[in-house]
Amino acid sequence: MNTLNINSVYSNLAGAQRISFGEKLLYNIKLKERLENDTFSKTDSSFASLNPDDKRDTELIKKLETLWNPSGYAAVIAEEFLHPYKSKNSSFYIIKKNSPPDDTLHKTTCIASTTNVDNTDKSAFEIDYIQTSPDISQSDEPKIKGSGELMIYGCVKEAQKYGFQKVSIFSSNNSFYEHLGFNKAAYRWYELPSSQYNEFLERVEKKYGMD
């Protein structure tokens, strides 16, 4: 299988008309961007929600599916987002850099699908799928750091805001979730109870200079 050359794809799209997307800003965050001297600087970024009923967001998801499909869960997230029934049972989130302006497609670094925040069952806020962009996940020296951790951060804030008792995720990435402070509840199941929300949020905010 040929590896997707994401930079080439983006270059081919650069001359096309840029699309205005309808994502709803939820939280201001700070990603880390690699500099020429191999250090990192904070870059203004956003954690936002996507609306399956918004045609602009639908267009974004379709384009991300085309660009990101070979790298993992983007196609699964797109299937949920575009399905009239499945999309009603989930919430969808995006992380993006704030620049360049009016170019959500090219500055998107991570997408995710989760339990619908309006779910009446508040026992668990489950993170179903997370996908970082291929130029991050497939690079030994990605230009952007923090997308996955900050996606979890935003999800924990959503779980706290909507009164969920815990955040849970099924994953084989043991070291990542253990590093974040999630508890191993069962085979590949990781959980963060509401009693640990504030500690987790404060730690991430301090790490990325958002306090």
Nearest residue to 156 via CA among 183, 192, 188, 121: 192
Nearest residue to 73 via CA among 137, 158, 117, 147: 137
**5 falls within a domain:** no
Q: Strand 125-132 and strand 166-170: pairing?
A: parallel
What is the structure's pLDDT at 21? 59
Nearest residue to 99 via CA among 16, 43, 149: 43
- Where does 51-181 show beta strands of DSSP type E? 90-97, 108-115, 125-132, 144-145, 166-170
**9 falls within a domain:** no
Domain residues for the domain of 190 are 19-207
Q: Which residues pair with 108 in a beta bridge?
A: 96
Summary mean pLDDT of the chain: 87
Count the Cβ atoms, other than its own, within 10 Å of residue 105: 17
Note the pLDDT tens digit of each residue in 3-43.
333 333 333 333 333 334 578 999 999 999 999 888 999 99
**10 falls within a domain:** no
**167 falls within a domain:** yes
**6 falls within a domain:** no
- What is the model's pTM? 0.87
Note the pLDDT tens digit of each residue in 75-119.
999 999 999 899 999 999 999 999 877 777 889 999 999 999 999
**3 falls within a domain:** no
Note the pLDDT tens digit of each residue in 151-202.
999 999 999 999 999 999 998 877 889 999 999 988 889 999 999 999 999 9
What is the structure's pLDDT at 71? 65
Confidence of residue 2 (pLDDT cuts 50, 70, 90): very low
Sign of CA dihedral 107, 113, 119, 125: negative
Q: Report the distance separating Cα 111 and Cα 124, nearest Å.
A: 20
CATH of the domain at 203: 3.40.630.30
Element (H, E) at 185: strand 183-186
Q: How far is CA 144 from CA 80, 99, 105, 109, 164, in A?
A: 27, 13, 15, 8, 30
Q: Provide the number of structural domains found in the chain.
A: 1
Residue with tokens 């974040």: 180
**7 falls within a domain:** no
Q: Pick the more confident residue, 23 or 124.
A: 124
